[in-house]
Structures are given as C-alpha cells and as structure tokens.
C-alpha cells in the first residue's frame, strides 16, 4: 500500500511536469523512457546518490528529524482511506481498506494537522532567514485554513450522520453524491485544501521570487526529496478525501463478470482521485499567487464565516426535514 | 496482554516525555517533548477505547495548541535558559509536598480493594454519539456557559494585546518624530 502511494507520488510529479509543459506549449520530460515515463525513477536514483550537504549553522537533531516527521505523517494518513468495496479472494474476503475506524475522518484530520511540525521545525532548525520566514508562513497558513477545512466537512457529517469514511461513501449510493447537497462546503473544502497543501495560488511558504525556496532552502539530496514526497502525498490524501466526502468514493456503474465487478470500483476511485490531481496542476499553472495579507484576510474573513453559515443552514434544513 | 504491554509502553513514553520537558534547557525541545506527552496520552485514550477523545486530543492539543506554542517560541527566538541552583522554597516545601502527594495517590490506589470503580482496558465507552448526548443534552448548560467564558477570554486577550492609542484614535496618522525633523534641517544647512 505504501509502495502504491509512493509510486503515485512519483508519477504525480511526472504528471505535474508533463501537464505544465503542455500548458506552456512545451514537451516536458521526453528523454527517459516512452513519454518520459521513467523520469521519476531516474529522479529518485539521482536524489539518493546526490551529496547530502548539511550546513554548519543548523540545529542538527531537528534538522534531520523534520523531513522524517513530514513524510511519516503524510504517508500514514492513507491507512484509513477506503479505496474499494468488499472483494472475495478465494475463500477469504476483505474490504479494500487497511483499517476501518468509526472515526476515520477525525484520524485523517488529526494526522494532517500533525504534518505542520515537519515544515515548522525545518524552517526553524535551518537557522537561516528565508527558511524561518517560510516555516512561519507555512505554519500560520496551515493552522488558519485547517479551521475552515474542518468546518466545511461538518456539513457533510450532518447530512450523512457518521464519522466512518466507509459509511459516508455508502450513504451516497444511487448518485446521491454530497456535492449535490453541499456545493458550498465542497468549494470551501477545495480552496482550503489547496492552502493546506501549500499549492499555488497559496504557495507563499515557498514563494521562489521572495523566499528562495522557503522552509526547505537549506536541504539537499534525499532530505529535500522527502519534503517533496510529503507535499505530493498530502495532495493525494486530500484528493482521496474530496472523492470520498463529495464524489461518492468508489461508487460508479458496476457490470460484467465477477472479476470486473471487483476491479471497477477501484478504477472509479482512482479516476476520481486522478481528476483532482489534474485539477491541482491545472490550477497551479493558471492562477497567480496571493499576497500574504490577502491570504490571511480571505481565510479568516471570507472562508470561515461562509463555512459556519453553511453548517447553520445545513443543520436547520436537516432539523426541519426530520 | 498485548494491550497491557502497549499501555505500559505508552505510559513510559509519556512519563519520559514529561521528565524531558523539565530537564531540557532549550524551549523548543521542551515544547517538542510536551507534544510527545500529548501524543502518548492520545494513544492511552485509544487503548482504553475512547477513540473520539484520542482523536480530539491529537487535533486540538498536539495539532493546534502546541503549534501556536512552537510559533511563539520561534518568533521570540528564545535562547537557552540559564541554569540556577534552585530556590530554597522549592527544596524546603516543594520536594516534601511532591513526596506526600505521590504517597497519598499510591495509598488510595493500593488501598482500593474492590475493582468495581476501575476502568479495565478497552471498556470505556467513548463513541461520538455518546459524547454528543452528554455534551448537548445532559450537560448543555455548563457547555454553553463554558463557550461564553471562552468568548470573554478571547475578547479580553484582544483588548490587552492591542495598544491603547490604536483603540482611542484608530485613523490618526503617526506624527513625524522630533529628532528626524532636526536631522533633515541640519542636512540642508550643510
């Protein structure tokens, strides 16, 4: 499972480079393998064999721990994400999910909220101005947008009445996708998810033109790659969550022989997640960056009241219909 | 048995983190060991069966409050603390006090013969629905009063943090300091 996720992470980097190239009327990676498909492999090998520079002025224990923290929390949240329905393999059967907790959603939110530490500690322990500024920006931004991210999901929870990701998906059968009932919540979720993963138009923590590279300025080789992996793994998690909460997860038309019936839900799930990954890249190469005060004002003065209003309206409607 | 081993393991981590919090001289390290304490406490809740409480512990304490602690320490750029030899009050009153308190706790725990009031591992009911019923039905009034209390605290913090001049005259432009004017004049004279 971790292997699948890491491969997905590597190929989302490839996707990003390829799509961005085509948006800018270029070719992107073409040299390694057909369509440059082996490029992530080559990148990985290069990252591992590169010289690992450690600046003399860093605070070493935290400097080394920070990328590890970032990657561990980014990857472990995949444990509660269900990616398919019940399957029978010979005499055994299983749900396509590592663990099914009845508070699955809260676990994902908890783990992603811990991911801030990787970024913040990297910024601080590097002991340089750009890194510190980037780290502070990142943590401030992630905390403020996490509030509206969490509140936007409350509307969905009121409608479905469960915290288990599997039950939330099951409640959306027969095309009763939550996006139809909670469009406002979906857009709040989408915007705050972009801010939460530090992607354009909210990529101020690593704004190249003013902060060099932000919190990972002082990192090189595999440690730098670990921050990259954490960012893309977070993107995958957020895309999975959007699919599960608003777009019916693995639900879709299922037909044909039994083996096809088992595989199709996984394919629907992957297609939906792929759509969100593509949307990420698309938005990144379309929109310019926010200014920092605009970012904070937008988060606290627009998104947060909107999310609260959405909860109140949803609760009233549910109470009125009950 | 496996649960008991895990329980003892996380308990040991929790105590070690708490001791480390006091021993470390750098504020960042202390804050990080406090996060370890919070995290292992969440694991203990999880082992007791209170899943919701564990998740909230991680989200609220480890994920939100401690990040604010950390940001504050980073912004203030606090250095290493200076070591003192300890105050006489702490040695005369504090150490015996701690010993008496721990003896009292141990005596209560050991002296309890019946196990009816103890929670066995995994027996705590902490489903979100039960907690919601308690909070919003049985204890609704204390809950609402607490929320008002927190609101008052926030307002108090805002008033204390903002400068008094900013509240009194929000739109007045800042006057040019006297010294700068003089400097400009002398510059022209030369």
Dump pLDDT digits (tens) for A204-233: 667 666 676 677 777 777 777 888 888 888
More confident residue, B52 or B166: B52
Give B74's contacts in chain A (Cβ within 8 Å): 120, 123-124, 132, 135-136
Q: Is residue B56 in some structural domain? A: yes
pLDDT of residue B183: 46
The listed range with the strongest mean pLDDT (B17-21, B76-80, B120-124) is: B17-21
Quick check: A297 pLDDT over 80?
yes
Please report which confidence band the pLDDT of residue A60 belongs to, taking 50, 70 and 90 as the band edges.
confident
| CB of B158 less than 8 A from some CB of A | no
CATH of the domain at B2: 1.20.120.1200
| CB of B71 less than 8 A from some CB of A | yes
More confident residue, B63 or A214: B63
Identity of the residue in B28, B32, B59 whose CB atom sits nearest the CB atom of A113:
B59
Give A114's contacts in chain B (Cβ within 8 Å): 58, 62-63
When the pLDDT of each residue in chain A is averaged and rounded to a whole number, the result is 79
Q: Is residue B112 in some structural domain? A: no
Q: Is residue B87 in some structural domain? A: no
**Structure tokens belonging to residue B109:** 């725990």
pLDDT of residue B184: 45
Quick check: A295 pLDDT over 60?
yes
Quick check: B149 pLDDT over 90?
yes
| CB of A138 less than 8 A from some CB of B | no
> Between A and B, how many residue pairs show a Cβ–Cβ distance under 8 A?
62
Give A143's contacts in chain B (Cβ within 8 Å): 64, 67-68
Provide mean pLDDT across the span B98-118: 75
Quick check: B125 pLDDT over 70?
no
Please report which confidence band the pLDDT of residue A135 belongs to, taking 50, 70 and 90 as the band edges.
confident
- Angle, helix A104-114 to helix A60-76, in steps of 10 degrees: 160
pLDDT of residue B151: 93
| CB of A248 less than 8 A from some CB of B | no
Identity of the residue in B63, B71, B128 whose CB atom sits nearest the CB atom of A110:
B63
Q: Is residue B77 in some structural domain? A: yes
CB spacing of A110 vs B59 below 8 angstroms:
yes
Quote the minimal CA–CA distance from A145 to chain B in Å: 12
Give the pTM: 0.77
Give B127's contacts in chain A (Cβ within 8 Å): 102
pLDDT of residue B86: 67
**Structural domain of B47:** 1-81+122-138
Rounded-to-integer distance, Cα B90 and Cα A65, Å? 36
Of A69-83, A170-184, B151-165, B168-182, the range with the lowest mean pLDDT is: B168-182
pLDDT of residue B150: 92
More confident residue, B38 or B86: B38
Identity of the residue in B64, B71, B128 whose CB atom sits nearest the CB atom of A113:
B64
pLDDT of residue B188: 43
Q: pLDDT, tens digit, for every residue of B79-95?
A: 666 666 667 777 788 88
Identity of the residue in B52, B74, B127 whose CB atom sits nearest the CB atom of A136:
B74
Contact B67, A117 (CB under 8 A): yes
Q: How many structural domains does chain B have?
A: 1
CB spacing of B74 vs A140 below 8 angstroms:
no
| % of chain A with per-residue pLDDT over 70 | 90
Quick check: A90 pLDDT over 70?
no
To test the contact with chain B by mutation, choose from A60, A70, A106, A129 the residue with the greatest count of B C-beta atoms within 10 A, namely A106
CB spacing of A107 vs B64 below 8 angstroms:
no
CB spacing of B75 vs A113 below 8 angstroms:
no
Identity of the residue in B52, B56, B70 whose CB atom sits nearest the CB atom of A120:
B70
pLDDT of residue A219: 76
Q: Is residue B115 in some structural domain? A: no
Quick check: B167 pLDDT over 60?
no
| CB of A205 less than 8 A from some CB of B | no
Quick check: A106 pLDDT over 70?
yes
pLDDT of residue A175: 72
């Amino acid at each position: 499972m971790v292997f699948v996720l890491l491969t997905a992470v590597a190929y989302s980097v490839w996707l990003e480079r390829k799509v961005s190239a085509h948006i800018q009327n270029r070719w992107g990676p073409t040299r390694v393998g057909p369509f440059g498909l082996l490029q992530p492999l080559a990148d990985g090998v290069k990252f591992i064999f590169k010289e690992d520079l450690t600046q003399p002025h860093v605070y070493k224990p935290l400097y080394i721990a920070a990328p590890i923290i970032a990657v561990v929390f980014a990857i472990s949240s995949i444990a509660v994400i269900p990616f398919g329905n019940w399957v029978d393999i010979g005499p055994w059967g299983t749900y396509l999910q590592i663990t099914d907790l009845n508070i699955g959603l809260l676990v994902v939110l908890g783990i992603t909220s811990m991911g801030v530490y990787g970024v913040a500690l990297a910024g601080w322990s590097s002991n340089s101005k750009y890194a510190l500024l980037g780290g502070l920006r990142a943590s401030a931004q992630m905390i403020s947008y996490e509030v509206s991210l969490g509140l936007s999901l409350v509307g969905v929870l009121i409608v479905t009445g469960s915290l288990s990701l599997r039950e939330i998906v099951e409640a959306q059968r027969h095309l009763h996708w939550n996006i139809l009932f909670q469009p406002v919540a979906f857009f709040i979720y989408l915007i705050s998810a972009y801010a939460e993963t530090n992607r354009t138009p909210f990529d101020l923590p690593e704004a190249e033109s003013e902060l060099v590279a932000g919190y990972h300025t002082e990192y090189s080789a595999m440690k730098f790659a670990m921050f990259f992996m954490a960012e893309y793994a977070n993107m995958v998690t957020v895309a999975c969550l959007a699919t599960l909460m608003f777009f019916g997860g693995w639900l879709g038309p299922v037909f044909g022989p039994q083996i096809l019936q088992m595989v199709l839900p996984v394919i629907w799930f992957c297609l939906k997640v792929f759509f969100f990954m593509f949307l990420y890249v698309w938005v990144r190469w379309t929109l310019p960056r926010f200014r920092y005060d605009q970012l904070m004002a937008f988060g606290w003065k627009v998104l947060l009241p909107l999310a609260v209003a959405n909860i109140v309206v949803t609760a009233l409607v549910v109470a009125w219909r009950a | 048995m496996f649960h008991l081993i895990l329980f003892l393991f996380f308990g040991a981590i929790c105590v070690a983190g708490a001791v480390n919090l006091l021993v470390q001289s750098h504020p960042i390290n202390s804050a990080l060991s406090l996060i370890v304490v919070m995290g292992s406490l969440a694991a203990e809740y999880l082992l007791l069966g209170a899943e919701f409480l564990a998740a909230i512990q991680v989200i609220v304490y480890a994920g939100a409050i401690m990040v604010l602690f950390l940001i504050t320490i980073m912004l203030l750029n606090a250095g290493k603390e200076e070591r003192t030899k300890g105050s006489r009050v702490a040695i005369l009153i504090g150490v015996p006090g701690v010993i008496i308190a721990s003896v009292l706790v141990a005596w209560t725990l050991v002296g309890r013969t019946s196990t009816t009031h103890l929670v066995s591992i995994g027996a705590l009911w902490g489903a979100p629905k039960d907690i919601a019923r308690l909070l919003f039905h049985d204890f609704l009034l204390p809950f609402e009063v607490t929320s008002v209390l927190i609101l008052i605290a926030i307002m108090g913090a805002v008033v204390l943090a903002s400068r008094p001049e900013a509240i009194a005259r929000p739109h007045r432009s800042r006057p040019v300091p006297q010294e700068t004017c003089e400097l400009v004049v002398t510059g022209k004279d030369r």
